[in-house]
Amino acid sequence: MLVTGGTSGIGAGIAQGFLEAGAEVIATGVSRGEVDKVREAMAPADCRVLDVRDGRAVEALVGELGALDVVVNCAGIIRRVDEFESSVFEEVIDINLTGTMRVCTAARPLLARSRGSIVNLASMLSFFGGGLVPGYSASKGGVAQLTKSLAIAFAADGIRVNAIAPGWIQTPLTAALHQNEDRSRAILERTPLKRWGTPQDLVGGVLFLCSPAAAFITGSILAIDGGYSVV
């Protein structure tokens, strides 16, 4: 299986979960430094460098694989207030949304052979607006609609395409919010389970969506959010 953005945060948690389930995992990070930093800790995962903005690099990596059963797209960034700058907005869209599309289309032939599955990383901001993160919110809204569209387009190949929508997960990307006492309190007050999530909390949902138990599920966006979205 291939996990983009699999060397940090949510992606690393999902990659580790699949390793523990017995899968052969390729986990990608955006830079050599990021990959080298975690290579030993993530063994036996095959950690590689991949910038999902580079279509040729995406095609080259996938082209080296003899077989592929699962793709999980976790590569992503958030730039908060800076996203009001058009260049930053475009970069967020290019990585989070267009990068997901590049990986999905490159992987399609191999996944068709295995009748495999794709899980994309949506967000609570696929459903809600984010006043400080217009690029991130737009990209994650796009990921939700891309997931539904590819579920239709890839169904003839036997490929299922779903997404998870995490709630507030404690990762480096959310560190500023988690460390802000007022903001963290507001999040916990709205979350029925009254805690922040961890990357490990997402593993079960992704494993399920990629398993035979989900054989009749495609185009779904599974919220894994401690109940945040139902309040």
Q: Which of 136, 154, 196, 228 is catalytic?
A: 136
Beta bridge partners of 117: 70, 160
Helical segments of the chain, H only = 9-20, 32-38, 55-63, 86-93, 99-114, 134-154, 175-179, 181-190, 200-210
Phi and psi torsions of 81, nearest 5°: -55, -30
Triad 164, 63, 161: Cα angle to 5°: 20
Q: Do the beta carbons of residue 53 and residue 99 sit within 8 Å? A: yes
* Residue 228 is a catalytic residue: no
The CA-to-CA distance between both ends of the chain, in Å, stands at 35
Residues 220, 119: Cα–Cα separation, whole Å: 10
Give catalytic residue positions.
Answer: 136
